[in-house]
Amino acid sequence: MSTIKPSSWAERVRVSDSNSRCTLEKLSRQPPGTILQIPNDMQLADAEDWKRSMIGFFVSYKLPFYVVQSIANRIWKPHGLEKTIVLSNGFMVFRFSSIAQMEEVLARGPWMFGGKTILLQQWKPCFKFDRNKIKSIPVWARLQGLPFPLWNKQGLSMAASMVGRPLASDEATLKGSRVEYARVCIEIEADMPLVHHFQVASTLTEEPITIDVFYEWKPSRCDSCKVFGHSCRPQKGKDIENVEVENQQPEVKGSDMGTHNQAERTKDVHHQKSTHEEGPRIDTTKENKGKENANTSVLPKE
């Protein structure tokens, strides 16, 4: 049973008048054990507000609300953000002025707040705010060795489907202006193993071509529960970021991204001009701590 936090002395002795209260409807008390049924018209009344909202949460991490609100207002206010709501279980609700503005921001992800990836998804009528039931997550992956016939929207979608559910690609990939790897955003499932290699066959080659897959970020995953966000395995020392792929191919680290420093790497990889399907991550590094992330990046100009 949940308990209510004791109120302070100031709250208990505070005097309030009728202007600070909302009078509720005088309904009859329902018998004990009655299940409250929400009327259909009441469900539809707020549906439009929720349709232009997206749900966010951090996996295995939690930022203070004032930090999340400060960053969200700074980067999303110009793009229609109206309200930020935080729930007790760590989920956050970001409400926008329109569905189009919300979808635009959502499509430009993944985003980072305070150096931590914030997972975002559009609200759905049956959405359950349960961190222990996160079964799918969007991540960015790099496909190395992709044959040139696949460097188009249909081909990239086919290649991405070998790794997860295709969501987006960056502009450099779609235009073929960077051919050392194809960068795609995919949705991975907690009950499916990560794919690190797959093969492509065509009449242009005698043998199938092996494509290497590198993930820019791997969420923690529980082998037992088949969900993201935690691990039931006992861990010694530092937390293992991904227990399933601990001894497999590593994530894309600094050495994989060139010899630039962190700020330059962020600019090179995540500040490319985006298509309507893809966008940068927001990386607020430790140097910004205490400054309310004053140098948080914003959406690139079209």
pLDDT, one tens digit per residue, over 213-249 is: 999 878 777 777 777 766 666 555 444 333 333 333 4
Q: Is residue 198 predicted with pLDDT exceeding 60? A: yes
Query: Taking the domains of the chain in order of start, what are their residue ranges?
Result: 46-129+272-302, 135-228
What SS3 class is residue 28?
coil
| Tokens 């956050």 -> residue | 92
Q: Which of 217, 221, 50, 213 is nearest to 146 (CA)?
A: 213
pLDDT, one tens digit per residue, over 5-47 is: 666 656 655 555 556 677 888 888 889 999 988 787 776 666 6
What CATH number labels 46-129+272-302?
A: 3.30.70.330
Q: Is residue 281 predicted with pLDDT exceeding 60? A: no
pLDDT at 24: 83
Task: State how far the alpha carbon of 77 is from the alpha carbons of 113, 223, 233, 262, 300, in Å.
Answer: 15, 39, 41, 26, 14
pLDDT, one tens digit per residue, over 61-101 is: 778 888 999 999 999 999 999 999 887 777 889 999 999 99
Q: Is residue 266 predicted with pLDDT exceeding 50? A: no
pLDDT at 1: 52
Query: Which amino acid is located at 285 in the chain?
Result: T
pLDDT at 141: 93
What CATH number labels 135-228?
A: 3.30.70
Q: Do domains 46-129+272-302 and 135-228 have the same CATH topology?
A: yes
pLDDT, one tens digit per residue, over 100-112 is: 999 888 877 778 8
pLDDT, one tens digit per residue, over 103-159 is: 888 877 778 887 777 888 877 766 665 666 677 777 889 999 999 999 999 999 999
The distance between the two most distant Cα atoms of the chain, rounded to a whole number of Å, is 83
pLDDT above 90 coverage of the chain, percent = 25
Average pLDDT over all residues of the chain: 73
Q: Is residue 268 predicted with pLDDT exceeding 50? A: no
Q: Which of 111, 113, 77 is nearest to 97 (CA)?
A: 77
